[in-house]
Amino acid sequence: MTLWAALAISLAAFVYSAGALYGIHRDNELIKQLTSGKDVAVNKIISGEPELRLARAFYFKQKHRYDEALSTLSLIMDKGDQKFQAKARYNLGNLYLEQAVQQVKAMNMNEALPLAGLAKQAYRQALALDSGNWDAKYNFEVAMRLLPEMDRVDMPDDEPNNQKSQLWTTVPGFPRGLP
């Protein structure tokens, strides 16, 4: 009798894991579809894994639909493991940075400043979670150049004329070379 029960349980486990495997396969197909630039109905990802939402935000960002990407990303900020959270924050940083760069290009400094600040915050969090993320390091530096930190670190042996340049450190933009 116990053997029959064990058989029933293991068959149930088999059916369950077959279902789980099928679900993962279906989700992966959706992720592939989204990353290749094709939209997926929202009801398919509502109950799914956070990776699906990350994929959807990735898709929105590719299509420059920033507001939708932002609202999708904000839903998964505290989901998943550390690696996943770092990735979500890195993509969030990219989302802000891309908009900040566009605003700088259009000379809308008032719009660009807070966006660059948010991007820096997101990259900082991403790097705190995963210090080996080189892309986050690089883009963090892009954001830092766009909006340098207020308080420069002055070493005793720094040139004294640093005082002068400090006036300009908070003006966003990239150095374009010598005049």
Partner 1 sequence: MRLALILVLSLLGCSGSIDEPVGATGRSPLLVKTPRPFGYVIGDEIPQRIIIETRSGISLQTGSLPAKGQISRWLNLNQVTVKQTGRRYQIDLLYQVFYAPLEVKPLTLPGFTVQLSQGEKSISQNVPAWTFTLSPLRELVVRQTEQGEYMRPDSPPSLLANTQALYGLVASLTVAALIAAYLGYLYGCFPNMLRRTLFKRALRKLAGLSKADMEQALTIVHHALNSLNGQPLFSNQLSEFYRRNPQYLQVSSQLDCFFNYSNRYFFSDGMIAVAQDLQQLRDLCEQCRKIERGSQ
Q: Which residues contact partner 1 (rule: CB under 8 A)?
A: 3-4, 6-7, 10-11, 13-14, 16-18, 20-21, 24-25, 27-28, 31-32, 34-35, 49, 51-52, 54-55, 58, 61-62, 87, 90-91, 94, 97-98, 101-102, 104-105, 123-124, 127-128, 131, 133-142, 144-146, 148-151, 153, 155, 157, 174-177
Q: Choose between 110 and 159: whose C-beta lies nearer to partner 1.
A: 159
Q: Which is nearer to partner 1, 105 or 114 (CB)?
A: 105
CA dihedral of 135, 137, 142, 145, whole degrees rounded to 10: -170
- Min dist CB 43 to partner 1, Å, is 19
Are residues 72 and 60 in contact, defined by beta-carbon separation less than 8 angstroms? yes
Helix 82-105 with 109-129: angle, nearest 10 deg? 160
Nearer to partner 1 (CB atom), residue 21 or residue 114: 21
CA–CA dist 53, 59 (Å, integer): 10
CB of 95 to partner 1, least distance (A): 8
Closest distance to partner 1 from the beta carbon of 170 (Å): 13
Q: Which is nearer to partner 1, 96 or 114 (CB)?
A: 96
Of 14 and 114, which CB lies nearer to partner 1 in the complex structure?
Answer: 14
Q: Which is nearer to partner 1, 110 or 176 (CB)?
A: 176
Q: Shortest approach of partner 1 to residue 69 CB, angstroms?
A: 10
Kindly state the DSSP code that residue 174 receives in the 8-state scheme.
-
How far are the Cα atoms of 50, 51, 55, 81, 87 from residue 76, in angstroms, in the given order?
6, 9, 11, 11, 11
Using CA atoms, how far apart are residues 71 and 77, in angstroms rounded to an integer?
A: 10
* Rounded alpha-carbon distances, angstroms, from residue 132 to 39, 54, 90, 91, 149: 31, 20, 12, 15, 23
Distance of closest approach, residue 70 Cβ to partner 1, in angstroms: 13
Smallest gap, in angstroms, from Cβ of residue 115 to partner 1? 13
As to burial, measured by CB atoms within 10 angstroms (0-12 exposed, 13-18 middle, 19+ buried), residue 33 is: middle
